[in-house]
Structure 1
Amino acid sequence: MFNIDYTALQQGLELMGYGMVGIFMVLGILFLACTGLVKWFSNKN
């Protein structure tokens, strides 16, 4: 069978996890910025 290098696999999974968290954080910040801008513009007019 395959001889899997578990340390490399674990590092890859950790990197994927950090990437996912980073993407979600960026999306959340963009979402908050967009909603804030929409509220600000609707208050200005």
Structure 2
Amino acid sequence: MRFLADENFPLASVQLLRQAGYEVAAIVQDSPGAKDSKVLISEA
């Protein structure tokens, strides 16, 4: 299962999910400040 964590999602939670084996795209790390439409297209 893949998760998309927006900029308001705590980075500590992203790290915990990754440690548990989930694939998590964290906008705060990958594309901070990007428009929602750009993020959704790039992560789809």
What TM-score comes out, normalization by structure 1 length?
Answer: 0.29
Structure with more of its chain in strand, by fraction: 2
What TM-score comes out, normalization by structure 2 length?
Answer: 0.30
